[in-house]
Chain A
Amino acid sequence: MIDIDNIHKTFNTGRSNQVNAVNGIDLHIKSGEFVVIVGSNGSGKTTLLDMVAGSVFPNTGSIIIDGADVTKMPDYRRSEWIARVFQNPMSGTASDLSIIDNFRLAAIRTRPKGLTIGINDTFKNQVKEKISTLGLGLENKIEQPMGTLSGGQRQALTLLMSVMDSCKVLLLDEPTAALDPRSAQVVMKTAEELIKDYRLTAILITHNLKDAYTYGTRLILMGEGLVMKNLDAQQKSALKQNDLFDWFG
């Protein structure tokens, strides 16, 4: 589903603050795989994810998603395949717009936004039904501005929004970093269910080693812009939680 070939990314080339964020990564992710990436700060995880999403372009190398070469394609055109959940709950939703407005935009992620009014009673009921599966009691608040909700509620809704339209790849950039432990658990459980139900190919970046141990079918350790360890499903299930902590020892 995602083929990353020998990509490099350097910021501020030639200046004193030059950063070699990604130094030649090859990564081939099969359809339906749930890849978890861990690594210390500055290991290049976020840059790698940004290059898959298209908000950062690599200096060299290529990225192919579902057979299409997207190396130079801007992020807004990759939305055909990709849905994203950001670290900051503010980034994944529009605060001033109501919940239903946010869901409407998500429901037409892969289509042009035209001059017709798309929100009607059928759509509202459909969204209410979806939101009620979260069990957060938000289904009766769909006219409320997104900004009135907590970070955890917003992240959970962002996840639901990602499957409102056809979605093949789900990118999760530390989605629970800004959340309390209980909200974090709701978000991670929701993510896991959606990935399973919709057979999504997913990449999760996390600093939470317990999550890295619990979730996913593949585990990658990054360091200094390179893949240091790459464990497939079998190796990952053989891994003990303490081994994972030792990586960062």
Chain B
Amino acid sequence: MDFYLTALLQGLCFSGIALGIYISMKIFNIPDITTDGSYTLGAVVTAVLLTHHQPTYIILPVVIIAGGIAGAITGIIHTKLKINALLAGILVMTALYSVNLRLMGRSNLPLINVPSLFTLINISADANHNSFWILLCFVALITLIIGYLLKTDFGLAMRATGNSESMIRSLGVNTDRMKITGLALANALTALSGYLISQLQGYTDISMGIGIVIIGLGSVIIAETMINWLRITSVWLSLVLVLTGAIIFQFVLAITLDIGVDPIFLKVVTAVFVLLIVSLPRINFRTAK
């Protein structure tokens, strides 16, 4: 059972990536894959500051700002230099690899016996249960903030930017600036996932971000399938479904390992699973016709 609890904890940690991809892909309609780099950046900044005995109230804002800057750079390259968003993301992600390596000074930094977010408060004697409650509060708080943001006038302008750019420009919004802000927000959320995961697993590794974008994409696609299926228009429910998507994704991987599939094939399973979710509604659609 502990196995599945770990999957749940990881799912909660990855909700930052899921929300980030939801914002860049669904709200702004921009395929952003800075994710691999900004996720690792979040974890690296956390590890470096933790080993330098910095308190959480310093680490958290620094992680958010670092992720935000990474996203803003992608946004500036995309909007001001008119470079395809995918390429802009790849460029920043590639550059971040060196930045991360330089920040850490080596490729792996263990965080054993370092006080972390999960040892900050003791709610339960069991370490995993304790982490669960802390994560749950943390994720709930982020979701509340993002949900509120999307409801504000600024949030409406954000949503309209990805929906009808000509309309929102004629209504007085600088869409370039809005996209840069949006990508900064998305990557700040992604960096938060790195912040959580590095503390949960107790180390930061330079290659931990490779291919991580698929987790966000998978979560959002699971959520989107449910949103279309249940015809949901509420912002709050959509966000909750994105979080659910992130958790379901981790459970699928846990089940795969549990039934004895060789971990080497984990990435294949991930790819096939995402393919299935994307293609299932389409297959249904065709037979219905």
Contacts and interface: CB of A to CB of B under 8 A. Distances in A.
Interface string A223-242: 00000000000000000000
Interface stretch (B104-112, B165-173, B192-200, B206-214): B165-173
Interface stretch (B45-53, B155-163, B243-251): B155-163
Interface in B152-189: 152-154, 156-157, 159-160, 163-164, 166-175
B163 A108 contact: no
Q: At the interface, is chain A mostly helix, strand, loop or mixed? A: loop
A84 B169 CA distance: 10
Given A97-B159, A105-B171, 16 more contacts: A55-B166, A74-B174, A76-B169, A83-B170, A86-B166, A90-B164, A93-B164, A94-B168, A95-B163, A105-B168, A106-B171, A113-B153, A115-B152, A116-B153, A117-B152, A117-B153
Contacts of A91: 164, 166-167
A102 B166 CA distance: 13
Contacts, number: 92
A145 B156 contact: no
B267 interface: no
A105 B169 contact: no
With most chain A CB atoms within 10 A of its CB, the pick from B159, B169, B170 is: B170
A110 B233 CA distance: 28
B174 A105 contact: no
Contacts of A80: 172
Nearest to A85: B170
A143 B233 CA distance: 9
B164 A110 contact: no
Interface of A: 53, 55, 74-77, 79-80, 82-84, 86, 90-98, 101-102, 104-106, 108-111, 113-118, 143, 145
Contact of A105 (B149, B153, B175): B153
A105 B152 contact: no
B151 interface: yes
A79 B148 CA distance: 27
Nearest to A104: B156
A97 B163 contact: yes
Nearest to B165: A91
Pairs A-B, 6 closest by C-beta atoms: A79-B172, A94-B163, A113-B157, A94-B160, A113-B153, A84-B170
Nearest to A118: B153
Contacts of B152: 113-118
B172 A96 contact: no
Contact of B159 (A75, A94, A109): A94
11 contacts: A55-B166, A75-B169, A92-B164, A92-B167, A94-B168, A96-B163, A97-B159, A97-B163, A104-B156, A105-B157, A111-B172
Nearest to A74: B174
